[in-house]
A and B are shown apart, each in its own frame.
Chain A
């Protein structure tokens, strides 16, 4: 029997319920408000009183309204048909909702419960299986969607029967499993999983050893992210966080992209809705929307479901990872998620930590980032969830609690700099402050040197050094004045500027420049480093700056040209003509 209760208190979206039976922490309940059910989650229990956070506006709620508890935590439905969908933070399908405005209690199914799928079995009766083992597959878009032993089944099972190849409804029983006690369990294509728990039905999680290509030079070349790695992008508003995230969503070399628009602007999601169905994945030629799922809980949607939205996204990511896919999860912005935690902690009158955030914020963030990773599945193949979150530090101050906690949890740090954004040097990632811990992993270094070029890591480190020295030279020039420093300083500064303009800066709105494949990144870095090793003769610093500007301009034209076409080659020829004008041994 379900536990019931009555509302006894209301403070914004925190509601206090007196219950008549057992309730569990994080259990889901529905509050009945004149026939409409409002979904809520238990977040604190004292005696007979359950404190619940409501995923909706509580306007009009009264003391005495009835409440029904559901006996389970917040869950998502997992099955074929999640790709290309647009969900709210609680995994309700936005497309199935009526009307222009979101109505309270309009809870639509995540999956199409009437849909049918072409099922092909992958096991035979008699086989021993455990959670997450593949029973069969159905085609979903281009993905071979695996139907797995539900993750909630923790015993060892024998396949008693499995349906032959054919078309089945999503809810049809496709297999019967027998557990160690001899009980039978029916398995359909749909399973449920509580979002706040990680799916760990895999063999092992090794250290990441491959990089994930993003087409963004300042990431791939200078601070690469590993497949199954974690990264975060903090930056003040107006520094290009969103443009960068969209670039990653469009270009990253992943099988599936999950975008969690968490407490951000609705128009940014609309941009994805509008563009992704038409844009093509440069690698496969398929429409981007075919590989994308959007969890959309914009800033004006209820705060509590904002908190849930990142978990919903991660759980869907883990589900597809279990099929052996390469998933990239982007969350914009994790600060809004942290703020949702803060609002609720505040209403619960908990003692606040720094900046009024809850004391356990660092632990919550670390736990979440730890769910990403590359894994070896039960059958030995790999799957991965790579996670990149943005952080919106209050006042652009990187010393605030969300940024600091995230810095401890994520392995790549892409710091967006106000100064670079102000001078329109986009993407405004500060290559000096940013880092990728993966670049220090021996297995990643080995991978890079093997797959890009034998001396790649050294070349990258050398280029970073040049940028650093250029920055120092620039500071000296600014303090002492153009003509009070040796000409060498100008030369050093301008060599760093070449790397900045040609490698670090990238035009996200130019069709060609926006996406640079790794081979082209290699070509351009090698070209730029070749120039950095050259010596030129100048009569004065003005001559030096004019000359280098010409070099930069020509290299930029190369960036804008289609790789290794006549146009590209002509600019390259022009480049060498310029280089030979002043080159000395």
Chain B
């Protein structure tokens, strides 16, 4: 982004807040970029000749006589095949001293796909994790977050899912990523020999929070290039969207907007939806799948960030540590993949939907039995069996360190049914029981 010749330089700021500056200027376009005192900024409000700019890296030390130069265009990313295998900052500038890439400069945060031109997602993404493949099957073109407390290994699970998912490109959008986690992703991808299909846009905790606002749009602009121009299967990883939303609230607060629930801006739903709805299956075969992380505070999903996210995304995956087995599992009760109906029993074996439901129902019976036990009541013989089943189900299927095929998951489930229950207790359609019940 070079300064062009004969550009007007403004030198008088009328107002400065922690995230914005205001000055008098004419002929300025909404959302165009500017350089304020050597820092990138974007127009967020125009009122007559008063222009308010959001300074991404914060306004510390900016004097009222700072130089302001307008670029006349919104933020852009140069897209091309060269993006692959490289690391960028939130502005799309190469990291580690790499050179600028060649390619067409595209506006980030571009228009939405005409819903009528979308294709219905129907391709399963296999991860080998039964908590996902069996209970909450993922599909290309889906958007789904991990809801997890900060102490849970969501980044590890996400990296594992990304590598197993057989995507053509994996695009990492890191927002407020700790440097350690950033290096973790880098190492995992490097060790897997996958670096040439990875593109990273990273804002770490060491960098200013408002910069994060650019990361998802950068990552998704790159994703659209590969999915539309190259018809590739692109997987976008966004971590951590809670920190992204926090940055939104900082900006809206500085602009004196009336906060709604949990001090979040009233537009939070639309802001998040604009990002997540970039997930799409194109008719020509390309797709963008988004797996995100939304960290929770004490497992509270009623907070505005996870709550709005849940209404936008196609399900959510909860991680928790199972106290009986000590394994990290994908919680079968609270997790959900809304698109699973498009593939289970269609792309997978016919018994998949019913086996999945029966297993979760029996697991729920075990949870009830556990409550009884905790309240000091006697267990029935059925309760005892349910508890044993739950233990095995957790060890052999739910634990995230298990890596098996969907058919094996189904067979395993049938074996557990037969081991602990009678056919009527499992309550699956008779024709399926006759076909799959192990002898």
Among A263, A271, A355, A482, point to the contact of B273 (Cβ < 8 A): A263
Interface string of B282-321 (1 = CB under 8 A from A): 1000000000000000000111100110111011100000
Query: Does A60 interact with chain B (Cβ within 8 Å)?
Result: yes
Interface string of A287-304 (1 = CB under 8 A from B): 000000000101111010
Among B116, B259, B429, B430, point to the contact of A356 (Cβ < 8 A): B259
Q: What residues of chain A lie closer than 8 Å to B46, measured between beta carbons?
A: 9-11, 62-63
| CB within 8 Å of A: which B360-377 residues | 360-361, 364, 372, 375, 377
B141 touches A481 (CB 8 A): no
A101 touches B110 (CB 8 A): yes
- CA A214 to CA B271, docked complex, whole Å: 36
Interface string of B17-36 (1 = CB under 8 A from A): 00000000011111110000
B302 touches A395 (CB 8 A): yes
Among A63, A100, A269, point to the contact of B26 (Cβ < 8 A): A63
B437 CB → nearest A CB, Å: 15
Closest chain A residue to B278, Cβ basis: A300
Q: What residues of chain B lie closer than 8 Å to A552, measured between beta carbons?
A: 427
A267 touches B334 (CB 8 A): no
B341 touches A423 (CB 8 A): no
- CA A356 to CA B268, docked complex, whole Å: 13
Please tell me the size bucket of the interface on A: 35 or more
Known: A266-B113, A352-B258, A392-B311. A424 touches B361 (CB 8 A): yes
Known: A16-B47, A265-B314, A267-B141. A94 touches B114 (CB 8 A): yes
Q: What residues of chain A lie closer than 8 Å to B261, measured between beta carbons?
A: 355-356, 394-395
Query: Does A283 interact with chain B (Cβ within 8 Å)?
Result: no
Query: Does A203 interact with chain B (Cβ within 8 Å)?
Result: no
B314 touches A549 (CB 8 A): no
Interface string of B331-362 (1 = CB under 8 A from A): 00110101101100000000001000100110
Q: What residues of chain A lie closer than 8 Å to B259, measured between beta carbons?
A: 356
B115 touches A60 (CB 8 A): no
B29 touches A237 (CB 8 A): no
- CA A541 to CA B381, docked complex, whole Å: 12
Query: Does A153 interact with chain B (Cβ within 8 Å)?
Result: no
Interface string of A368-411 (1 = CB under 8 A from B): 00000000000000000000000010111100000000000000
B380 touches A542 (CB 8 A): yes
Known: A265-B312, A549-B425. A342 touches B260 (CB 8 A): yes
B302 touches A396 (CB 8 A): yes
Query: Does A120 interact with chain B (Cβ within 8 Å)?
Result: no
Give the contact stretch, choosing among A167-175, A521-529, A553-561: A553-561
- CA A352 to CA B310, docked complex, whole Å: 25
| CB within 8 Å of A: which B413-439 residues | 424-425, 427, 429-430
Q: What residues of chain A lie closer than 8 Å to B142, measured between beta carbons?
A: 267
B42 CB → nearest A CB, Å: 10
B339 touches A267 (CB 8 A): yes
Known: A60-B32, A63-B28. A86 touches B266 (CB 8 A): no
| CB within 8 Å of A: which B264-288 residues | 266-267, 269-270, 273-274, 277-278, 280, 282
Among A300, A339, A481, point to the contact of B266 (Cβ < 8 A): A339
Known: A63-B49, A266-B115, A356-B259. A397 touches B280 (CB 8 A): no
B115 touches A269 (CB 8 A): yes
Q: What residues of chain A lie closer than 8 Å to B39, measured between beta carbons?
A: none
A63 touches B258 (CB 8 A): no
Q: What residues of chain A lie closer than 8 Å to B257, measured between beta carbons?
A: 346
Q: What residues of chain A lie closer than 8 Å to B267, measured between beta carbons?
A: 12, 303, 343, 346
B118 touches A8 (CB 8 A): no
Known: A11-B45, A301-B112. A545 touches B307 (CB 8 A): no
- CA A303 to CA B111, docked complex, whole Å: 14
- CA A334 to CA B111, docked complex, whole Å: 24
A270 touches B360 (CB 8 A): no
- CA A424 to CA B334, docked complex, whole Å: 11
A423 touches B364 (CB 8 A): yes
Closest chain A residue to B425, Cβ basis: A549
Among B107, B269, B341, point to the contact of A336 (Cβ < 8 A): B269
Q: What residues of chain B lie closer than 8 Å to A481, measured between beta carbons?
A: 372, 375, 377-378
A263 touches B269 (CB 8 A): yes
Residue of B26, B44, B261, B314 with most partner-chain A CB within 10 A? B261
B68 CB → nearest A CB, Å: 17
Interface string of A316-336 (1 = CB under 8 A from B): 000000000000000001001
Query: Does A422 interact with chain B (Cβ within 8 Å)?
Result: yes
A346 touches B266 (CB 8 A): yes
Residue of B118, B315, B339, B364 with most partner-chain A CB within 10 A? B118
Closest chain A residue to B51, Cβ basis: A63
Closest chain A residue to B365, Cβ basis: A423
B307 touches A59 (CB 8 A): no
Query: Does A488 interact with chain B (Cβ within 8 Å)?
Result: no
Q: What residues of chain A lie closer than 8 Å to B427, measured between beta carbons?
A: 549, 552-553, 556
- CA A520 to CA B311, docked complex, whole Å: 35
- CA A549 to CA B120, docked complex, whole Å: 39
B120 touches A271 (CB 8 A): yes
A296 touches B260 (CB 8 A): no
B378 touches A100 (CB 8 A): no
B175 CB → nearest A CB, Å: 19
Query: Does A550 interact with chain B (Cβ within 8 Å)?
Result: yes
- CA A231 to CA B114, docked complex, whole Å: 30
Interface string of A499-536 (1 = CB under 8 A from B): 00000000001000000000000000000000000000
- CA A397 to CA B301, docked complex, whole Å: 12
B273 touches A346 (CB 8 A): no
A397 CB → nearest B CB, Å: 7
Residue of B31, B111, B260 with most partner-chain A CB within 10 A? B111
Q: What residues of chain A lie closer than 8 Å to B360, measured between beta carbons?
A: 424
Query: Does B382 interact with chain A (Cβ within 8 Å)?
Result: yes
Query: Does B74 interact with chain A (Cβ within 8 Å)?
Result: yes
Q: What residues of chain A lie closer than 8 Å to B353, measured between beta carbons?
A: 509
Closest chain B residue to A501, Cβ basis: B427
- CA A343 to CA B110, docked complex, whole Å: 21
A312 CB → nearest B CB, Å: 15
A10 touches B30 (CB 8 A): yes
Q: What residues of chain A lie closer than 8 Å to B424, measured between beta carbons?
A: 549-550, 553
Known: A238-B310, A266-B118. A101 touches B303 (CB 8 A): no
Q: What residues of chain B lie closer than 8 Å to A271, measured between beta carbons?
A: 120, 342
| CB within 8 Å of A: which B46-92 residues | 46-49, 74
Query: Does B128 interact with chain A (Cβ within 8 Å)?
Result: no
- CA A8 to CA B50, docked complex, whole Å: 10
Closest chain A residue to B48, Cβ basis: A8
Q: What residues of chain A lie closer than 8 Å to B310, measured between beta carbons?
A: 236-238
Q: What residues of chain B lie closer than 8 Å to A422, measured between beta carbons?
A: 333-334, 364
Query: Does B228 interact with chain A (Cβ within 8 Å)?
Result: yes
Interface string of A224-258 (1 = CB under 8 A from B): 00000000000011100010000000000000000
- CA A509 to CA B353, docked complex, whole Å: 9
Query: Does B117 interact with chain A (Cβ within 8 Å)?
Result: yes
- CA A442 to CA B375, docked complex, whole Å: 47
| CB within 8 Å of A: which B117-136 residues | 117-121
Query: Does A204 interact with chain B (Cβ within 8 Å)?
Result: no
Which residues of chain B have a CB within 8 Å of any CB of chain A?
26-32, 44-49, 74, 107, 110-121, 141-142, 228, 257-261, 266-267, 269-270, 273-274, 277-278, 280, 282, 301-304, 307-308, 310-312, 314-316, 333-334, 336, 338-339, 341-342, 353, 357, 360-361, 364, 372, 375, 377-378, 380-382, 424-425, 427, 429-430
* For the complex of A and B, 7 pairs with smallest distance between CB atoms: A395-B302, A299-B273, A300-B277, A237-B310, A356-B260, A274-B120, A481-B377
Q: Could you jot down 29 A-B contacts, CB within 8 Å?
A: A9-B47, A11-B47, A59-B29, A63-B26, A63-B48, A94-B114, A94-B115, A101-B111, A102-B111, A102-B112, A102-B113, A266-B113, A266-B115, A267-B142, A269-B115, A270-B118, A273-B115, A296-B116, A343-B266, A346-B267, A349-B258, A356-B260, A394-B307, A395-B303, A396-B302, A424-B361, A509-B353, A542-B382, A546-B382
With A63-B26, A238-B315 given, can you name 4 additional A-B contacts, CB distance below 8 Å?
A94-B116, A101-B112, A266-B112, A267-B339
